[in-house]
Structure 1
């Protein structure tokens, strides 16, 4: 991120919002979608602690301006237009959800949500999961976007599951599936891309299961080779043990049949 770029969070009345998590490690994140979004991602976490609305009455205007600036910088990263539209749709839905979950959120936000401003829609909770299903069909192509979405889910995005607590198992299943797809793609990437799923991906999940899905550092080639050798050895020993048991059984039967 350009060091000279400032955001609403730095310059527009949000200085006194206590930080819940340190997002400074994401400023240099290799994934541009996460790197450029990091100030607003920090806002979505901090806003959960606010009992009263921020002092700035034009907060949504400032966030809209920030998103437009981010989109301009992401265009320089040569992403497909569809990826940028999907990023914007998901991020707008996520920020809207986090703000309107606060006691003051609906009054100051609902009439002109980010999703309305950018996509002329009033609710994206269902479409976001339809989008996830589409992206999972091509995880390599949409790796950066899936990683961004994975982070939003870990930070608390609910979407269509917000009002249906009984379906949290399904949401967590989707979270696990994205995690698995990302790990699979990651294992096929060259070494210089391995930091994409590094520990700079921050988890602030509300449940213990969500926290378990933190993406850890990629295993080295040497570690993978050792693991494969260990698995092969374990399989060989298990096979030998089973063969020994079967041989003993056959000998016992022969002893009975041939006294």
Structure 2
């Protein structure tokens, strides 16, 4: 026999109305009324064999009937069918009254005041609330909260709920006694070492920032040793114009759109051909992350020099503005990181990534004065160097 035969007997009818409410079953109201009436008749017959007294049977029937009516009359889009249901509702046919299910709350409150003798019925009422009975709690700002509180009160009143915490789930199974594991004698030393290591790391970061800030004058003095403009020989006569090599012409042809837009320029000497960027805003400020659209420029340069023979060197250069951060303590570190970022783009496109190397020079090799914004923009550059073979 079921633990709660009353609720067990009501399950088919509550399952039907719950499925209709959730949309899992779509029935016209007349068909729902026919099925619910048949299930209610079977529920009434089952109550006669359970052994409830007349009052308990009446309370059980009222709860189930009111739940069916409450859900059916709130289904959307029923129109005239809803009016007909109200005239022939379950409560009207079973009890001859139509008070909107308010008696449900009065009966439940009465049983919660003395739950000891009404455990099965309280569980049935809780099941009705779960199936969709809202009654007067369907409207109002606090209706949902009041409904949840009532369900919680009903559930807490059930004797098997109160006994759960005192019942062993598997009495035949016993846990194995396990001795308590202590941290051991080394634990304080390990903890102290961890704290010391954290403190030293913090001190290192602070000293690095201080060194970066206080070392700027020395770095500026060292940089001032180098001339701010490229060295030029003083000639009495104009130097003979050197013809452009076929190698430079070939690379220039592949980069013609970029040269026309003044994005890059080409230069060569006896040993190398050099592709030099002409736009200062290649990377985000103080970062080695390329600005949007700049990677495409370097990809085009990579394809242009890929067919040349020999190693490809990426050189990073910076202006004289000081940089101090945890990631980049000075311009030298920043220019090196930017050169590596461009080298990564090249390696992803070349069949032999080992051809690519990178090096940063900081602000030590300016090609323009750092006294003006335009000059600084030219000095913030990347140069791609390939060996001259022709």
Band of TM-score, shorter chain:
0.5 to 0.7
67, 86, 111: which is aligned to 1:94?
67
Separation in 2 of the partners of 1:169 and 1:134? 21
* Partner in structure 2 of residue 226 of structure 1: none
Alignment deviations for residues 161-191 of structure 1 (CA, whole Å, 9 cap, x no partner): 1122423322222111111111xx22677xx
Within 5 Å, which residues of 2 pair with 1:21-170?
Answer: 29-50=2-23, 54=27, 57-103=30-76, 104=78, 106-170=82-146
Please say if residues 92 and 98 of structure 2, whose CA atoms lie closer than 8 Å, have aligned partners that are also in contact: yes
Separation in 2 of the partners of 1:151 and 1:87? 11
**For the structure 1 residues 52 and 40, does the alpha-carbon distance in structure 2 shift closer, same or farther, using more than 3 Å as the test?**
closer
Task: Give 1:41 deviation, angstroms.
Answer: 1.1
Alignment deviations for residues 108-153 of structure 1 (CA, whole Å, 9 cap, x no partner): 4122100100011113432111111101122121100100111111
Higher helix share: 1
Hey, which bits of structure 1, 4+ residues long, moved more than 6 A?
none
Secondary structure of 1:54 counterpart: coil
Separation in 2 of the partners of 1:83 and 1:178? 17
Please say if residues 125 and 158 of structure 1, whose CA atoms lie closer than 8 Å, have aligned partners that are also in contact: no
**For the structure 1 residues 108 and 221, does the alpha-carbon distance in structure 2 shift closer, same or farther, using more than 3 Å as the test?**
same
Alignment deviations for residues 26-82 of structure 1 (CA, whole Å, 9 cap, x no partner): xx8421122111111111111124599625845424422321222122111111211
TM-score, normalization: structure 2? 0.39
Instruction: Give the alignment's Cα RMSD to 1 decimal.
Output: 2.9
* Partner in structure 2 of residue 173 of structure 1: 149
Separation in 1 of the partners of 2:100 and 2:123? 19
Alignment deviations for residues 68-103 of structure 1 (CA, whole Å, 9 cap, x no partner): 222122111111211110111111111011111112
Structure with higher Rg: it is 2
* Partner in structure 2 of residue 206 of structure 1: none
Gaps of 5+ in 2: 170-390
Say whether 1:221 aligns with 2:172: no
Separation in 2 of the partners of 1:154 and 1:220? 26
Secondary structure of 2:154 counterpart: helix
- Specify which structure has the bigger relative contact order, considering alpha-carbon pairs within 8 angstroms and separated by 6 or more residues: 1
Separation in 2 of the partners of 1:52 and 1:110? 21
Please say if residues 136 and 143 of structure 2, whose CA atoms lie closer than 8 Å, have aligned partners that are also in contact: no
Gaps of 5+ in 1: 1-27, 190-217, 224-259
**For the structure 1 residues 219 and 69, does the alpha-carbon distance in structure 2 shift closer, same or farther, using more than 3 Å as the test?**
same
Please say if residues 93 and 123 of structure 1, whose CA atoms lie closer than 8 Å, have aligned partners that are also in contact: no
The 10-residue stretch of structure 1 (142-151 or 68-77) with the greater mean CA deviation from structure 2: 68-77
* Partner in structure 1 of residue 366 of structure 2: none
